[in-house]
Structure formats: structure tokens, C-alpha cells
Structure 1
């Protein structure tokens, strides 16, 4: 198995595109850091005085404000007072701020490139006419397919590692370094909550992994279904963007229809749980993980069953 995986990784890295994907991620992170450094302005060392002045002004304005504005002003007053109470600079910029905000957003590129490589893994063997040579080896079909599946997972994790390393290096060069456990306010649907920069970044990364695995698995399944590499990759990318679109729509459907909670799309972005405890009303992280696990088993079973019975004539 190890030699098969090594051979499949050799195929992946033998393509220039696989290296270009890594380079694109590094460039995207560097550009994000430069833009954040240029556009964000300089950190304000007198933030406590200015924030206190804002709090005092809001307290005065709140009493005379119209009723329709009082709710917003009260929320803003609470937010500004929170910065003072927790001693959190609202305009702070550091390496871990950059990691938590910008680098976390670039994970969409990791997902995109992982989907492309996964979708092409098996279908490219049909397109290139090498599928028969692959299957005449003294190994069971499922072993060969498993080696391909594990190789695309390894490559996808390497993309994620490249992203994290590029983000840390870029952030350390462009911004001040702060303590891993520095506090900041994370914006959620329910308002603001205090979190620690480093742990929050890695928490989001951990929650990102299940959705990455599911999307890789769906793309890999499509790769076994279609002999055309272009078709498999195209459908894989379509499913990726469709999932992000339908996820928001199903959130609204779930308010009226219970069955909508068990569709896969709203559970694909588990990073939401780094910001809040529930989604879709009462759905918690264990429920989302269980839902994804059921779909994962179905996708894996379909993938290996289809490939076992697949006609490899070309």
C-alpha cells in the first residue's frame, strides 16, 4: 500500500499544476497580507482614550435618541465598553490577527484545488488511456482505488500546511508578533464574543477538515463515475460552489421543514461552530458530525462499489 501511495503522489507532483496550486496559495496569502498592511492603517496606541470618548458620547446620545435608534446605540455602546472591559484594542494588527482573519479566508483556495485534483484522480486515467495498465498490477481494485484516495487526501493536507506556513511567515514579516493567547473580539451572528487569537485560528482549521474531507470524497466519487477528466472536474467545481450557495438557502428552509436539517449542505461549513454553539436553530456540532459521517459512508460505499464493477474498456 505504501508503494502504491508513493506512486500516486508521484503522479500528482509530476504535474506542473500541482506545484502551481501551491504557488498560487502562497501568492494569495502574500497579497492578502500586503493589502491588509496598506489598507488597514497604522495601529492606534491611544485607543483607550478614543474608545472611552466614544462610550461617553454614546451614553449621552442614547438618552435623547429616537426609539428606533436606541436598540442599535445600546448594542454599539455594549460593544465599545467591551473593548475597555477586556482591554482589547479594536484596531490591533498582528501576525495572529492576520492568521485568524485573512489566512482562514484563503482556505477556499485549498478546497478548490483539492476538488480539482480529486476529480481528476481516476478520470484522468481513463482520459489518458492508462487505466488498463493501472489495473493489471497484482493488487485488488479496491486497494488501487484506496491508494489514489489516500494520495489526494495527503496532497490536500499539504496544501493546507503550505497555507498555514505561508500565512505565519507573511504575518510575522508584515505585522507585529503577539502572544498566541492574545484576546480579541470575534464577531458572530449573536454579537461579539471574547476569544484567543491562536487557539481560535486552529479551532477553525480543525472544524474545516471534515468539510474538506467530504468535498474531496464527493469529487473522488465523481472521478470514478466519469471517464472524461474535464467533465469530472467541471462537475466537481460546480458541486463545490453549489454547496456554498445552497447552505444559506437551506438554513431558511430548516425553519419550516425539519427534513432540511438532514441535508448535507448546511453541515459542510463546520467553522460556524467556532463562532456559535448551534446552527439551524437547535443543531449542534455532534449532530452535524453524525450527519456528515452518514453521508461519508454512503459516498465511500458508492465510490468503491462503482469502481469494482466498472468496465475499464477504452
Structure 2
């Protein structure tokens, strides 16, 4: 089978690719496990550390005809991770629409034209909820208050409808805030959630732009990757209720509790500078801090148990266990 990861050179795309290479197989259109014959990673920039055993394609996903040239008509499965993130999509409306919406529509149209409908896993976000109530339920309506959230919820509805029509076999996952991301801060409004742990653990300064009482709904990179693969491999009839959109389970934690976990892990909390940013606070503050996800639990999706375990995993996987 031929598997493509759109956004394959980002940190989640690279982790997902490594895990798929490790597994060597995935569920095919017939519902049975099949060997992965080719793994294609597509992104606009080259990877920092190219992986062996994959096909790398670099280009503009929003360029007309790009997906037709890059993928052809024989892709079995697609993981669509590529996006202009929250603050960047808010700052540049046209860029966000071009990548988050126009490119997604182009990808869905390519899937529609394939002789065999491929499986497609689309990563959405908790940003689809705006001015969220204290507890999000599975049936809480999505009412985004950001361009990014709006673009994501439109993508969800498109995947749902293309699936209803039989053009593809789609699964949309609303990812919690991913903590702890490796690397450096990016333009995501939630970037600080990783930075206030990641940088001090490495003896570097970090900026916290929000009130420490803010609650976040989070999930570790390891659990996100396992949930992406689980969503892909679930039988089609698991989604037979017509809802191809799923709130993923997560962990509720306040910024203050994250800083306390940093201290327990021997991180220097004095390296965190508190510099309020009203725009970041507005965006992130509109997202849910807690969700009740019985449907995801019933379908077998995973969650993290504690913030301390997330910090310990980061130190082990990214810092070699260094204190």
C-alpha cells in the first residue's frame, strides 16, 4: 500500500513517519493489514534530518495541480497534517485560507478522482470551539472565534461530506494542544505551552504570555501519533453513525500546574518570564480547557494520565534523560 503524509516534515509528521516505518503495515481499504510499500512525505520545506526508506516531495500544497503531480491516483491512505497555525492564520488571512482551506479542498478532489476511495485522516483542532463552556461534550457545537478555527471546522465538514458521498473514507481528529513539542517556539498561539517546559529543562529562557490560572486541554506527541494511527486503522463501520469528526481525549492542566511539574522535574522556573500578550490570551482563552469524550473512549483512543509523565517522556525521548 502507498501512504502519504501531508506536512510530513513537521515534528508530528516525522514522528508519525517513524512509527509507520517501525510498524511496516497498516489497515488497507479491505479492512485487512497490508504492508506499507511506499511512504511519501510532502512538505514545503526539506526535513532537518531526512528519514531513510521514504519518498520526499517538497512543494507548495496550495499550488494548482500539485497533489496530482505528487501523488497520482494510487494512494491508499493519506494523513493530512499540513496547516498554517493559529496566530499565523489570524495574522495572514489569505495565507490561512489558501493552505488550510483551498489546499484541503484540492486534496479531497484528488481523493475523489481515485479509482479506489482512500482512507484520509484529517487533523483538526480544539480551536474549532470559541468561548467554550467549562466542559465540552461530544455534541457541543463548534463555534470558532479565529480564522484558523473556522478553516479547520470547514475542513471537517468537507471531509464528512466527501465521506458521506463515498469519495473517500475520512476521519477528523480534533487534536488537543500538543505538549511538549520539540524544537523552538513557532507561530501557534499555543506555542508557549511547550516552551515554558521545554526551554527551562534545557537551561533556556521562556516567555509565558497568559495567566497561570488558564486551563489547557493537552496531549503528548507520543499519544497523538498513536491516536492518528488508531483512527486510520479503525474499521469503516466504526464511523457508521455518520459523524466522521471526533474530539480526542486529553488531560486538563493549568499553566500553574505545568510550572509546578517543571519544578518537580528539576527545571528552573525562574527562567520563565511572564509577559502578557492580549492577542494570544484571547485566542487560547477561547479554547476548551476540559472535554468529556465518551465516544473516543468507546472507540479505543488513548490519553495521557499526568503532566509529570509527559515531562518525563520529553526528557527521556528528546533530552536523553538529562536533568
Q: Would the TM-score normalized by the shorter structure come out above 0.5?
A: no
Bigger proportion of residues as strand? 2
TM value normalised by structure 1: 0.25
TM value normalised by structure 2: 0.25
Answer 1 or 2: higher relative contact order, Cα 8 Å, separation at least 6.
Answer: 1
